[in-house]
Amino acid sequence: MVWLAALFQLWALGACGSQVATTAKPITLYTCVNDTTIQPVIQKFEAAHAGVKVDLFRAPTGQLNARVASDVRSGGLKADVVWACDPLTMQDYVDQGLVGGWTPQTDIPATVRTPDYVGVAVLYMVAVTRTGRPGPAAWTELSRAGKVAVPDPKVAASALGALGYFGPDFYADLKAKGAVQVSTPDDVTTGVAQGIYDAGMTIANSAYAAQKSGSPVTVSWPKPGAVAIYGPIALSKTTTNSGPAQDFVSYVASRDGQALVGSSGSYPTLPGVGGPTTPDDAPTVYPDWKALASSKATLLRDYAKIFGG
């Protein structure tokens, strides 16, 4: 009887959820953007657009991909808007005919735009060192900081972007000098903060968040520059709620939306809008995403020979 009662309550909970969903005509957003950023963006958008509700599915890229692929095989993509964390993922969705075909009017630079999506946030791959260790002025000096950790490009798209920019030889050199590969950029940050590693490659948001909380880490933007990985947003091709969905994409790409992105811990792409900590003369470099899309398999195979897997 206990489980019958519990089952009934679960059913009631589910029913309540779907009732709200049908009466409010929500738009469904799929994203891998962290909660710290996405929640205020949704709240401000809903406040500015009375009657429009955003239903959120937020998960790391792997789960997001799994959800999209499952949708495709069970009636079609259920999202109205997809906000990804790297252009390779989004381009794959475009190539499958899932998203694209429309972008909003915006001053965001053409370098992070295509006819199908627009980059609205950036991740920067930077160097993090344990406080007291020398921060590398150039990426080639990273291994001099001591025991180095790098994130896995088969797990984190930001790491794949870095692999695309640096090439396998850079990693072979690091490995020869004792570097190890961990899973995610966050694992690098935590490992360096804890003292398991002396230095590593991680994303700036993660490193600055650790530094801000008091962890003994130093963040460097080595030359030729931090590797920039932009996170694009796109409209679903199967949306039946395109008006509010377009409004949401437009809002995120607008100056107000970009300011909110910047103030909530992510780096915006709109020039002149402030974001989290960035050194005055912070150099940045961009992978060639088109080339990377076609060479991804070869790169990962070559990389696997270095770090295994």
Helix (H, G, I), strand (E, B) or coil at 230: strand
Q: Is 132 in the site for other proteins (CB under 8 A)?
A: no
Which residue in 44, 46, 49, 65 binds other proteins (CB under 8 A)? 65
- The minimum distance between CB 255 and other proteins, in angstroms, equals 25
Question: Which residue's CB is nearer to other proteins, number 10 or number 137?
Answer: 10
- The minimum distance between CB 180 and other proteins, in angstroms, equals 4
CA 137/CA 5 separation, integer angstroms = 63
Q: Is 89 in the site for other proteins (CB under 8 A)?
A: yes
Which residue in 40, 46, 49, 56 binds other proteins (CB under 8 A)? 56
End-to-end CA distance of the chain: 49
At residue 24, what are phi and psi to the nearest 5 degrees? -90, -5
Question: Which residue's CB is nearer to other proteins, number 106 or number 145?
Answer: 145
CA 193/CA 214 separation, integer angstroms = 9
CA 189/CA 150 separation, integer angstroms = 10
# binding residues, other proteins (CB under 8 A): 82
- The minimum distance between CB 126 and other proteins, in angstroms, equals 14
- The minimum distance between CB 190 and other proteins, in angstroms, equals 5
Q: Is 16 in the site for other proteins (CB under 8 A)?
A: yes
Q: Is 265 in the site for other proteins (CB under 8 A)?
A: yes
- Cβ-in-10-Å burial (0-12, 13-18, 19+) of 188 comes to buried
Q: Is 178 in the site for other proteins (CB under 8 A)?
A: no
- Which residue carries 């999209």 as its tokens? 68
Q: Is 80 in the site for other proteins (CB under 8 A)?
A: no
Region from 164-172, 180-188, 235-243, 283-291 binding other proteins, contact rule CB under 8 A: 180-188
Q: Please report, as residue ranges, which positions from 210 to 229 form the binding site for other proteins (by CB under 8 A).
A: 210, 213-217
Q: Is 155 in the site for other proteins (CB under 8 A)?
A: yes
Q: Is 46 in the site for other proteins (CB under 8 A)?
A: no
Write down how long the chain is. Answer: 309
At residue 199, what are phi and psi to the nearest 5 degrees? -160, 170
User: Token pair of 287, please?
Assistant: 């992978």
Q: Are 40 and 264 in contact (CB under 8 A)?
A: yes
